[in-house]
Amino acid sequence: MTVPETSSPVQSTPLTADHISRGARMAPFAGWNMPIQYDGIIAETLHTRSAVSCFDICHMGEFLLKGDPETCGLEHLVTARLQDMPSRSCRYGSILNEKGGVLDDLIVYRKGPADWMIVVNAATIEKDKKHFQAHLKPGTDFRDVSAQTGKIDLQGPLSRDIIKAIAPAATAIGYYTFIETEVLGRPALVSRTGYTGELGYELYVPAQEIPELWKKLLDDPRVKPAGLGARDVLRLEMGYSLYGQDINEETTPLDAGLEKFVDFKKDFIGKSALESKRKTGTTRQRVFLRTLSRRSPRHEHHIFVDGQTKGIVTSGTFSPHLNCGIGMGFLENIPAARALNISVGDDKVQIEAVITDKPFVKHTSLKQ
């Protein structure tokens, strides 16, 4: 059989040595040497939905920015409306190029009326930084603090019990809000966000404090480490997009099914391109697929309708919660596609599938 090859890693997080000592399987991701799995992707996925897991997410980027959103140009950069965000709330959105293509998806944190943190994907830090600097009003206080900021995600129905012990003030915060508080007695930011669809928190602390926090979290026997493999299954089970795979500069929020994170009542970079696309209509649609077997859709599989290629799979995996393959992709605008005979595959295999709705896994602890 053919064993997948791996290429050489680039950067290490403050936890890379710890992951290796725990026997994690490491692989390069977005230029970082990251843990893919510890006990196994399925076990880690199940543990996250039934108990609580922690994830090393130190590779992601953080920018700090000061200014009124209108005056400094931030409102014009992001698709979501920022002006009406309450302090200590988070909002998901995108930054676009003039053609309406997605440069990155991100989460905006409003720390105060004129005080912001922007969390971006690891692979796009440099590109995003240039884009912000080019479009913010000259002289705006903008800092890339990715290198000195560490991030651990704590996710799962039991995560509130764990937070209670390490950051008591964060216990009561609501979904998509955050608090600047102390974690293990030191200043930190804790938000009620995540990428798994479960109740969970993202903890931002100075990078040098990450090893101590990681160890402290894992001292509780209920908490287990989970890798990027489980993270990918968990986000796909919720139908969340992954930048660089499901969305990129060639996709717009309209065809990627992210229109609800775009505010057409304000002006932003890429808006006129999106408006003309709205008039002419998009040529493809985002679809979510479930296979009728244990076989999985895979990245770049074709989507066949009555045996004819009509689309492409952007992400796919096996769902241990549904016991079948799941995935998402783009399908041509075919009327009533759900009623048609759908399969996914390549020149070697065709796997029977159906078009369905996201999330694949329902009734999670997300908003408990």
Partner 1 sequence: MNIPDGLYFTKEHEWVKIEGTTAMAGITDYAQHALGDVTFVELPKKGQVLKQFQLMATIESVKAASDIYAPVSGTIVEINAELNSNPGLVNQDCYAKGWVAKVMLADPQETKNLLDPAAYKAYVEGL
Q: Using CB under 8 A as the criterion, which residues of the chain lie in contact with partner 1 when the complex forms?
A: 1-4, 25, 36-37, 40-43, 229, 233, 293-296, 298, 317-318, 348-349
Q: Which is nearer to partner 1, 229 or 239 (CB)?
A: 229
- Which residue in 45, 232, 20, 17 sits closest to 156, CA to CA? 45
CB of residue 143 to partner 1, shortest distance in Å: 37
Count of C-beta atoms within a 10 Å radius of residue 161: 15
Provide the token pair at 141.
């206080």
- Which residue in 169, 226, 173 sits closest to 50, CA to CA? 226
CB of residue 184 to partner 1, shortest distance in Å: 33
The sign one gets for the Cα dihedral 97, 100, 103, 109 is positive
Which segments within the chain are labelled E, that is strand? 25-29, 32-37, 52-56, 61-66, 89-96, 102-112, 115-120, 141-144, 149-155, 178-183, 186-191, 200-206, 223-225, 284-291, 302-305, 308-319, 324-332, 342-345, 350-356
Q: Which is nearer to partner 1, 193 or 314 (CB)?
A: 314
Q: Which is nearer to partner 1, 116 or 318 (CB)?
A: 318
CB of residue 351 to partner 1, shortest distance in Å: 10
CB of residue 316 to partner 1, shortest distance in Å: 10
CB of residue 51 to partner 1, shortest distance in Å: 18
Cα 57–Cα 60–Cα 66 angle in degrees, nearest 5: 125
Q: Which is nearer to partner 1, 36 or 102 (CB)?
A: 36
Half-sphere exposure of 60 (CA within 13 A, CB side): 26
- Which residue in 170, 149, 159 sits closest to 196, CA to CA? 159
Q: Which is nearer to partner 1, 40 or 112 (CB)?
A: 40
CB of residue 310 to partner 1, shortest distance in Å: 22
Q: Which is nearer to partner 1, 45 or 89 (CB)?
A: 45
Q: Which is nearer to partner 1, 46 or 207 (CB)?
A: 46
Provide the token pair at 297.
């859709």
CB of residue 14 to partner 1, shortest distance in Å: 25
